[in-house]
Chain A
Amino acid sequence: MSDRASILNRIQNALRTPAARPPEPSPKPVFPPIAPTDLVAHLERELLALKADFHFSSNWNDARQWLKQIADQHELRRVVTSPEMDAVEAGRSLGARTLTGDGDCGRHLADLDLGITTCDCAVARTGSVVLTPQSGFGRALSVLPPAHLVVARKSQVVTDLSDAYKLLQARHGRNWPSMITFITGPSRTADIEKILVLGAHGPKKLFVLLLDF
Chain B
Amino acid sequence: MSHASQFEHDSILKTVNLRHRAILQKATGTYDTKVAETKAKFINWNHGREIARQRKWEAINRLDFYLQEFERSTSARGTIVHWAADAARANEIILRLCKARGVRKLVKSKSMVTEEIHLNEFLEEHAITPVETDLGEYIVQLRHETPYHIVTPVMHLTKEDIDLTFHEKLGTPTGSTAEGLAMTARRVLRNEYLTADMGITGANFIVADTGMISITENEGNARLCSSIPRIHVAICGIEKVLPRLDDLALFLPMLAVSGTGQQLTCYNTMIGGPRQAGETDGPEEFHVILLDNGRTNLLADAEQREALHCIRCGACLNGCPIFKNVGGHAYGTTYQGPIGAVITPHLKGLGEWKHLSFASSLCGNCTDVCPVHIDLHHHLLQNRRNAVSAGYSSWIERLNFRMWNSLMQNESAYRVAVVLSRIAQKISRAIGLEGSPIDPVQPWTDKRTLPAIADKTFRDWWDDHKLKMKNEE
Chain A interface residues (CB < 8 Å from chain B) = 2-4, 6-8, 10-15, 17-26, 28-32, 46, 99, 101, 105-107, 110, 125-128, 133-134, 137-140, 143-144, 160-162, 164-166, 169, 176-195, 197, 199-203
Q: Which of B262-276 contact A (CB under 8 A)?
A: 263-276
Residues of chain B within 8 A of A32, CB atoms compared = 41, 43
* A21-B27 in contact (CB<8A): no
* B260-A190 in contact (CB<8A): yes
Residues of chain A within 8 A of B373, CB atoms compared = 22
* CB within 8 Å: A-B pair count: 272
* A19-B220 in contact (CB<8A): no
> Which listed residue, B50, B77, B154, B290, touches A191 by the CB 8 Å rule?
B154
Q: Tell me if B152 counts as interface (CB < 8 A to partner A).
A: yes
* B219-A194 in contact (CB<8A): no
Q: Tell me if B159 counts as interface (CB < 8 A to partner A).
A: yes
Q: Which of A7, A32, A137, A138 has the most CB of B within 10 A?
A: A7
Residues of chain B within 8 A of A188, CB atoms compared = 218-219, 266
Interface string of B45-66 (1 = CB under 8 A from A): 1011011011001000111100
Residues of chain B within 8 A of A134, CB atoms compared = 279
> Which listed residue, B77, B158, B300, touches A176 by the CB 8 Å rule?
B77
Q: Which of B84, B223, B271 has the most CB of A within 10 A?
A: B223
* B280-A144 in contact (CB<8A): no
* A184-B272 in contact (CB<8A): no
Residues of chain A within 8 A of B275, CB atoms compared = 133, 178
Interface string of B294-316 (1 = CB under 8 A from A): 00100110110110000000000
* B281-A139 in contact (CB<8A): yes
- Give chain A's interface secondary structure class: loop
A157 to chain B, nearest CB (A): 16
Q: Tell me if B249 counts as interface (CB < 8 A to partner A).
A: yes
Stretch at the interface among B95-103, B119-127, B133-141, B385-393: B133-141
* B253-A110 in contact (CB<8A): no
Q: A11-B64, A144-B228 are in contact. List 20 more A-B contacts (CB 8 A).
A: A8-B67, A8-B68, A15-B63, A31-B41, A106-B227, A107-B194, A127-B263, A128-B264, A140-B228, A143-B220, A144-B224, A165-B249, A178-B279, A178-B282, A179-B270, A179-B272, A183-B267, A189-B218, A200-B218, A201-B221
Task: Tell whether A197 pairs with B272 under 8 Å between CB atoms, given A181-B223, A187-B219.
Answer: no
Q: Tell me if B427 counts as interface (CB < 8 A to partner A).
A: no
Residues of chain A within 8 A of B276, CB atoms compared = 133, 177-178
* A165-B158 in contact (CB<8A): no
Return the chain B residue nearest A162 by Cβ: B249
Residues of chain B within 8 A of A26, CB atoms compared = 47
Q: Tell me if B145 counts as interface (CB < 8 A to partner A).
A: no
Residues of chain B within 8 A of A128, CB atoms compared = 264
Could you list some 10 contacts between A and B, CB below 8 A?
A: A10-B296, A10-B299, A11-B67, A25-B51, A30-B42, A161-B249, A179-B226, A187-B266, A191-B134, A200-B219
Residues of chain B within 8 A of A30, CB atoms compared = 42-45, 47-48, 51, 250
Q: Number of contacting residues on B, CB 8 A? A: 101
* A143-B223 in contact (CB<8A): yes
Residues of chain B within 8 A of A125, CB atoms compared = 263
* A15-B228 in contact (CB<8A): no
* A144-B227 in contact (CB<8A): yes
Residues of chain A within 8 A of B179, CB atoms compared = 195, 197
> Which listed residue, B54, B82, B272, touches A178 by the CB 8 Å rule?
B272
Q: Tell me if B415 counts as interface (CB < 8 A to partner A).
A: no
* A126-B279 in contact (CB<8A): no
Residues of chain A within 8 A of B50, CB atoms compared = 22-23, 25
Q: Which of A23, A177, A178 has the most CB of B within 10 A?
A: A178
Complex Cα gap A21–B53 (Å)? 10
Q: Tell me if B31 counts as interface (CB < 8 A to partner A).
A: yes
Return the chain A residue nearest B246 by Cβ: A165
* B218-A182 in contact (CB<8A): no
* B263-A126 in contact (CB<8A): yes
Residues of chain A within 8 A of B252, CB atoms compared = 161, 182
